[in-house]
Amino acid sequence: MKRLIILLAAVWLAGCAAVVKVEGEQVVRNRLSVQLPSAWNRIANHHEPFELWTQDGAALDQLRFWSGVKPGEALIRTSFTPAGQTAPRVPTFAANMPPDQLVSMFEMLFSADGSQVKTDRIEPARFAGENGVRFEFAVIRKTSELQLRGVGWAAVRNGELFAATFTAPQLSFFQRLLPKAEGVVATARLR
Amino acid sequence: MVRRFLVVLAGVVLLTALAATVQAQTPSRNLAPGFSTRIAGSKLLIVPPDIELFSQSAGGVLEPKADWTDLAQRHFRSALMAQTVVLAGNAMELGDKELDELAQLNALHGAVAEAVFVHHMMARPALPTKDNRLDWTLGDAVRPLRERTGADYALFFWVRDSYATQERKVAMVAMAVLFGAVIPGGLQIGYASLVDLRDGRIVWFNNLARMAGDLREAAPALETVEVLLKSFPAAQ
Amino acid sequence: MNAGSPSGRRRFLRTACCHCAAWGGLGLGLAHAQDAADATIAPRLERPAIDTDEGGLWAMMDREERRLRRGPLVIRDEALSTYLRDLVCRLGGEHCTDVRVHVVRTAQFNASMAPNGMMQVWSGLLLRVDNEAQLAAVLGHELGHYLERHSVERMRDLKAKSSAAMVVSMFGLPGALVGLGIAASAMGFSRDQELRADRIGMQLLRRAGYDGREFPKVWENLLAELKVTGGEDAGRRSVLFATHPPAADRRDALRAMAGEAGGRLGTEELERVLAPHRMDWLQEEIRRGQYEESLALLSRKLARSDDPHYLYARGEVYRLRNRDDDLPPALADLQRGSQLLKAPPELFRSLGLLHQRREDAAGAIGAFERYLAAAPEAGDAGLIKTYLKELKP
C-alpha cells in the first residue's frame, strides 16, 4: 500500500504545475522586461510558448506575454491531433503582419477551445516602447459559459512579435484586476 | 482509456489522503482573514445545492442516477434544516428559478470556488501571493443577489458523489489480487462556500474529498452535511 | 420501446445523441427504399421512471437544459425558434410538443438530441445547410434516435456529462488527462442505430413532403469540407473525437432510400429566417482560422449564388491565409462583392486592407472611406483612420 502511494505520488506530481511568486523586474525570454509593482503568481510547466501569470488562478484571470516570436512560430501549441489527420491550424506569426492581422491571430487563439470571441475595439497604441496595436475583446467560454473580458497589446520589432493579453471574468474581476495588469504592461520594454 | 482513468483516480485517492492531513493541521484555513463569526441577526441565503450522484460501473464509467440525486437533494435539505448553527442565522432559501436568472453570477461563483478548492484548500498548486490566506472575492457581482433577497450572506454547496456497483466491487477485488493495484470505489467530493453579500468576499470555505459518505440515506446524508459544515461560523 | 428499460449495470451511459462531422462507421445495411411508405411513428414517449438509467439522464439533461436556456451561448430569436419548432412538428407529428429546440452559437456543424426532448442545433450547422430540406433531414435523423430511444455511450460536453472530468478538473490535474482519458472513450452509435436513424429520418423527411435526395447531400458537403484537411479519415477530427470513420456507404444507402425527384426544397423559407444571423455566423467561421475548411464551405455556397456576404467571407479568408497565390482570388471576390447592392461594411474594410497590402493607395483609401462611412462606430475605426493618414500623401 505504501509503495503504491509513492508510485501514485510520482505519477501525479509529474503532471503538477509549479507556481512561483514573481515581483520586481522580470524578463520574458531574455528580450522583454517588465516591472511588477505588486506580486503575481507565475505558472510554469504549462508547455505553451507564452509566459503565464495570474492573481486568483488560471481559471479566473490570466496575464500572458509573448516575446521574440519569429515568423513561422505559433502562438500556442498544436492541440491533440488524432492519427492520420492534418493538424488544425494554430495562430502563427508571419513576417510583415499588419496590426489588424495581429489581432486576427489572437481571435483565433482565444477561440481555439470552442469559445466564442468578439473583438470590440482596435486602435494603434504603444507597447514595449514600439508602435503597435491595442485591442479589447469578449470571450464566452464554451465549457462553463463564463463570460470574460480581455485586452491585448502587440508590436513588431525587427520582424519579431512581442505581445501581451489580459483576460478575466466580466463580472467584477476584469474591472478590479485590469489596473494591475495595465500597470505591468505599461512598464514593458524591449532589450 | 480505462488505465488512464485509473491513473487519474489514483491521483484523486492520493489527494484525498493529503487533504485529510492538510485540514487537520490548519483549522483556520477555512476562514478569510479577519473573519470569524457572522454578524448577529444577519440573514443567510441558502442557494440551491448543486448535487449529482453517479453509479460507477466496473470499467469506471460514471452513470448519472436521477433517483439517487433526487433522494440526495431531499436528504441534504433535511440535514441542512437540522443544523441549528446554520438556521440560527435567520436562513432563507433561494428558488431555482431565481438562481437561473442569476446564471452568470452562479457560473462565476463556480469558477471562484474551484480556484479556492484547488489553490487554497488543496494547495495543489498554491498561489504564493495568497500567502496561505483565504483571499478570494466575487466583488460587486453579488450586488443583484443582495438587492433581490436582502440577505447578508449566501451559502453555496456543490457535491459530486459516486458509488461503486456490485460489479465494480468485484473488479476491485480482482484487480487487487491480480495486480496488487488498488482501484478506488466510490468517491465523494464537495464544498460549502459562504459569501459575504456586502462585499462579495468568500469568508468561509470547507471541502471534502473522500471515499466515504452516502447521500442516498438520511443518516449518512446528515453525516456528510455535518462534515461539510464543520466550523461553519455562528452568528453572534 | 418502453419507458422503463432495464437499468443493467453494464449499461453504457446514455447521453445525448450527437452528430458532428462524423457518421457512425456503418457498412452497407441493406437500404429498403420501400420502407419510406411504411413508416410508423411511435406514440408519444412517457417520461421514464426516475430509477432507470434513462431517467437519470433525463434529470441531468433537464438541469443542463435550464443552464443552457439562461446562458449567453443560446440564440434568442423568436422567428427562428418558431420556424424550427414548426419544422420539428412537420416532421415529428405529435412528438413535437415534447421537443424543445435551442440554437447554440458555435461555429461547427452539430445537432444533438437528448432523451428528455432537448434538441440543440449549432449555428455552424445552420450556416452550412443549403435549404430547408437539408435541415429537416438532419433534424429527422436526430428525431430518429430520440424516437427509438437509442442507448449511446458518449461524452459530449465535459462539464455536464462527465462527472469524472469534473472530479479531475476540481483537482487541477493536467487538462490533457481529461481530454484524452474521458473523451477518447468509444462514443459512437452502433451500426444498427445509425442505419435506423437514417431510415427514420428519411421516412420523416419524405412523409413531410421534402425531397429525399437532399439528405445524402448534407453529408457529401460536410465530407468534402473535412477531406480538405483530413484526407481519407476525414470526419474523425470533430469536437467529439468521434471514433467512427465517415462512410460513403451511408451516403449511398441514403441515395438508394431517397426516392424520385420532386418534393420540397424550401430554399427561400430557410434563407429568410437565417439572413439576419448570417453575417455573425460567417464572422465566427472566419475566426476559427481553419482556412481550408472555410474555403470549401464558401466555394460551395458561391457556386449557387453571388451573395455579397459569401463573397466578403471568402475574400477575407483568402486575405487572411495570405499565401502568394491568394491575393488575386481575394481581390476578385471582394471587388465583385463591392459592386453588389447589399455589400456589408466589413467587405470594404477587407478590400481596403487588401489594397494596402498590394500598395494600391488610391484603392485602399477609397475602400477604407467607404467602410468608415458605412460603419462610423466600428470598433477598429481608430486603427483604420491611422491607416488612412499613412496612405494619404
- Please report, for the domain that includes residue A120, its CATH number: 3.40.1000.10
What digits encode the pLDDT tens for the residues C346-355? 999 999 999 9
Is residue C215 within 8 Å of C160, Cβ to Cβ? no
Distance from A63 to chain C by nearest Cα, in Å? 19
Kindly report whether the global pTM for this prediction surpasses the value 0.80: no
Nearest residue of B to residue C170 by CA position? Answer: B114
User: Does residue A77 sit at the C interface (CB-CB below 8 Å)?
Assistant: no
User: Does residue B42 sit at the C interface (CB-CB below 8 Å)?
Assistant: no
Question: Could you tell me which of A158, A159, A154 has the C-alpha nearest to residue A99?
Answer: A154
Residue C357 reports pLDDT greater than 70: yes
Chain Cα centroid distance, residue C77: 17
Residue C222 reports pLDDT greater than 90: no
Q: Do B63 and C13 touch (CB under 8 A)?
A: yes
By CB atoms closer than 10 A (0-12, 13-18, 19+), residue C114 is: buried
Please tell me the predicted confidence (pLDDT) of residue C117: 81
Distance from A56 to chain B by nearest Cα, in Å? 7
| Interior/surface letters C220-235, b for 16+ CB within 10 angstroms, e for the rest | ebbbebbbbbbeebbb
Cα distance between residue C159 and residue C169, in whole Å: 9
Q: Which of C50, C57, C71 sits opposite B70 (nearest CB)?
A: C50
Count up the domains in chain A and report the number: 1
**Confidence band, pLDDT 50/70/90 cuts, at residue C53:** low
* Residues of C in Cβ contact (< 8 Å) with A171: none
Higher confidence at residue C304 or residue C34? Answer: C304
First to last CA, chain A: 53
Please tell me the predicted confidence (pLDDT) of residue C262: 80
Is residue B229 within 8 Å of B83, Cβ to Cβ? yes
Please tell me the predicted confidence (pLDDT) of residue B66: 72
Nearest residue of B to residue C71 by CA position? Answer: B103
Contacts across the A-B interface (CB distance below 8 Å): 83
Backbone CA torsion sign across B56, B58, B61, B63: negative
Residue A104 reports pLDDT greater than 90: yes
Cell 481571435 belongs to which residue? A107
Please tell me the predicted confidence (pLDDT) of residue A19: 92
Does A86 reside within a domain? no
Distance from A105 to chain B by nearest Cα, in Å? 27
- CA angle B148/B149/B154 to nearest 5° reads 115
Question: Could you tell me which of C60, C66, C96, C61 has the C-alpha nearest to residue C81?
Answer: C96
pLDDT > 70: percent of chain C: 69
What digits encode the pLDDT tens for the residues C243-280? 343 556 777 888 888 888 788 898 999 999 999 999 99
Cα distance between residue A82 and residue A150, in whole Å: 31
Q: Which of A105-114, B1-10, C116-125, C368-377 has the lowest mean pLDDT?
A: B1-10
Distance from B90 to chain C by nearest Cα, in Å? 29
Q: Is B150 left (phi over 0), alpha (psi -120 to 50) or beta?
A: left
Please tell me the predicted confidence (pLDDT) of residue C226: 74
Cα distance between residue A162 and residue B219, in whole Å: 60
Q: Do A80 and C236 touch (CB under 8 A)?
A: no
Top residue of C18, C287, C358 to mutate, by most chain A CBs within 10 Å, is C287
Is residue A157 within 8 Å of A66, Cβ to Cβ? no
Please tell me the predicted confidence (pLDDT) of residue B60: 54
Q: Do A80 and C105 touch (CB under 8 A)?
A: no
Q: Which of C231, C284, C383 sits opposite A133 (nearest CB)?
A: C383
Instruction: Tell me the mean pLDDT in the region B61-78.
Output: 79
- CA angle C169/C174/C178 to nearest 5° reads 60
Backbone CA torsion sign across B6, B11, B17, B19: negative
* Residues of B in Cβ contact (< 8 Å) with C12: 61
| Interior/surface letters A60-79, b for 16+ CB within 10 angstroms, e for the rest | bbbbbbbbbbeeeebbbeee
Cα distance between residue C81 and residue C315, in whole Å: 31
Nearest residue of B to residue C14 by CA position? Answer: B63
Class of domain C306-391: mainly alpha
* Residues of C in Cβ contact (< 8 Å) with A89: 289-291
Please tell me the predicted confidence (pLDDT) of residue B97: 84
Does A8 reside within a domain? no
Scanning B7-66 for CB atoms below 8 A from A yields 7, 10-11, 13-15, 17
Top residue of B14, B116, B135, B198 to mutate, by most chain A CBs within 10 Å, is B14
SS3 category, A83: coil
Question: Could you tell me which of C190, C109, C126 has the C-alpha nearest to residue C154?
Answer: C190
Residues 6+ apart with CB under 8 A from B22: B29, B121, B122, B123
Is residue C378 within 8 Å of C371, Cβ to Cβ? yes
Residue C372 reports pLDDT greater than 90: yes
Instruction: Tell me the mean pLDDT in the region A31-48.
Output: 91
Q: Do A119 and C230 touch (CB under 8 A)?
A: no
Q: Which of A90, A107, A142 sits opposite C287 (nearest CB)?
A: A107
Name every residue in C having a CB less than 8 A away from some CB of B.
9-13, 50-51, 53, 55-60, 66-67, 69-72, 153, 162-164, 166-173, 177, 180-182, 184-185
Q: Do A172 and B129 touch (CB under 8 A)?
A: no
Distance from A170 to chain B by nearest Cα, in Å? 9
Distance from C130 to chain A by nearest Cα, in Å? 24
Please tell me the predicted confidence (pLDDT) of residue C15: 27
Distance from C102 to chain B by nearest Cα, in Å? 17
DSSP C167: H
Please tell me the predicted confidence (pLDDT) of residue C65: 80
Q: What is the largest CA-CA distance in chain A?
A: 61
Cα distance between residue A98 and residue A155, in whole Å: 10
Does A144 reside within a domain? yes
Please tell me the predicted confidence (pLDDT) of residue C334: 97
Please tell me the predicted confidence (pLDDT) of residue B96: 85
Question: CA dist B57 to B62, B68, B188, C50, C177, Å?
Answer: 7, 15, 16, 19, 20
Backbone CA torsion sign across C224, C228, C232, C235: negative
* Residues of C in Cβ contact (< 8 Å) with B115: none
Residues 6+ apart with CB under 8 A from B144: B102, B105
Q: Residue B183 is which amino acid?
A: I
DSSP C129-157: --SHHHHHHHHHHHHHHHHTT-------S
Q: Do A98 and C357 touch (CB under 8 A)?
A: yes
What are the cell numbers at B38?
Answer: 457572522
SS3 category, A163: strand
Please tell me the predicted confidence (pLDDT) of residue B167: 57
User: Does residue C382 sit at the A interface (CB-CB below 8 Å)?
Assistant: yes
Q: What is chain C's mean pLDDT, rounded?
A: 75
Cα distance between residue B228 and residue B230, in whole Å: 6
Q: Residue C293 is which amino acid?
A: E
**Confidence band, pLDDT 50/70/90 cuts, at residue B59:** low
Is residue C390 within 8 Å of C361, Cβ to Cβ? no
Q: Do C239 and A114 touch (CB under 8 A)?
A: yes
Cα distance between residue B161 and residue B170, in whole Å: 20
Question: Could you tell me which of C70, C132, C133 has the C-alpha nearest to residue C104?
Answer: C70
Q: Do A88 and C229 touch (CB under 8 A)?
A: yes
The secondary structure of C203-265, three-state, reads: HHHHHCCECCCHHHHHHHHHHHHHHHHHHHHCCCCCCCCCCCCCCHHHHHHHHHHCCCCCCEC
Cα distance between residue C391 and residue C393, in whole Å: 6
- The HSE-up count of residue B200 (CA atoms within 13 Å, CB side) is 20
| Interior/surface letters C172-186, b for 16+ CB within 10 angstroms, e for the rest | bbbeebbebbbbbbe
Cα distance between residue C32 and residue B18, in whole Å: 61
User: C20 phi and psi, to 5 degrees?
Assistant: -105, -140
Please tell me the predicted confidence (pLDDT) of residue A35: 95
DSSP A34: E
What are the cell numbers at C363?
Answer: 484603392
Scanning B194-213 for CB atoms below 8 A from C yields 209
User: Does residue B151 sit at the A interface (CB-CB below 8 Å)?
Assistant: no
Is residue C82 within 8 Å of C76, Cβ to Cβ? no
Question: Could you tell me which of B139, B111, B104, C169 has the C-alpha nearest to residue A147?
Answer: B104
Nearest residue of B to residue C185 by CA position? Answer: B1
Distance from C228 to chain B by nearest Cα, in Å? 29
Q: What is chain A's mean pLDDT, rounded?
A: 87
Nearest residue of C to residue B207 by CA position? Answer: C170
Element (DSSP H or E) covering residue A24: strand A19-28
Residue B15 reports pLDDT greater than 70: no
Cα distance between residue C56 and residue C13, in whole Å: 10
The β-bridge partners of A161 are: A69, A156
Cα distance between residue C375 and residue C368, in whole Å: 10
Q: Which of C125-134, C161-170, C193-202 has the lowest mean pLDDT?
A: C161-170
Is residue B201 within 8 Å of B55, Cβ to Cβ? no
Sketch the domain layout of chain C as residue ranges. 17-153+188-257, 306-391
Q: Which of B10, B13, B127 sits opposite A41 (nearest CB)?
A: B127
| Interior/surface letters B72-85, b for 16+ CB within 10 angstroms, e for the rest | bbebbbebbeebee
Sketch the domain layout of chain B as residue ranges. 2-228
**Confidence band, pLDDT 50/70/90 cuts, at residue C36:** very low
Scanning B116-155 for CB atoms below 8 A from C yields 117-119, 122, 124-125
Peptide bond into A98 cis (omega under 30): no
Compute the radius of gyration of chain A from its Cα atoms: 18
Scanning C294-323 for CB atoms below 8 A from A yields 320, 322
Look up the domain containing A177 and give its range: 19-77+91-190
Cα distance between residue A108 and residue A93, in whole Å: 12
User: C270 phi and psi, to 5 degrees?
Assistant: -65, -45
Nearest residue of A to residue C379 by CA position? Answer: A121
Name every residue in A having a CB less than 8 A away from some CB of B.
1, 4-5, 8-9, 11-12, 16-21, 39-41, 43, 54-57, 59-60, 144-147, 169-173, 176
Cell 418534393 belongs to which residue? C263
Q: Do A116 and C106 touch (CB under 8 A)?
A: yes
Nearest residue of A to residue C174 by CA position? Answer: A15
Cα distance between residue C254 and residue B235, in whole Å: 68
Is residue B107 within 8 Å of B113, Cβ to Cβ? no
Instruction: Tell me the mean pLDDT in the region C219-248.
Output: 58
Q: Do A12 and B14 touch (CB under 8 A)?
A: yes
Top residue of A54, A62, A93, A100 to mutate, by most chain C CBs within 10 Å, is A100
Instruction: Tell me the mean pLDDT in the region A88-111.
Output: 92
Chains that touch A (3 or more CB pairs under 8 A): B, C
Does A10 reside within a domain? no
* Residues of B in Cβ contact (< 8 Å) with C67: 103
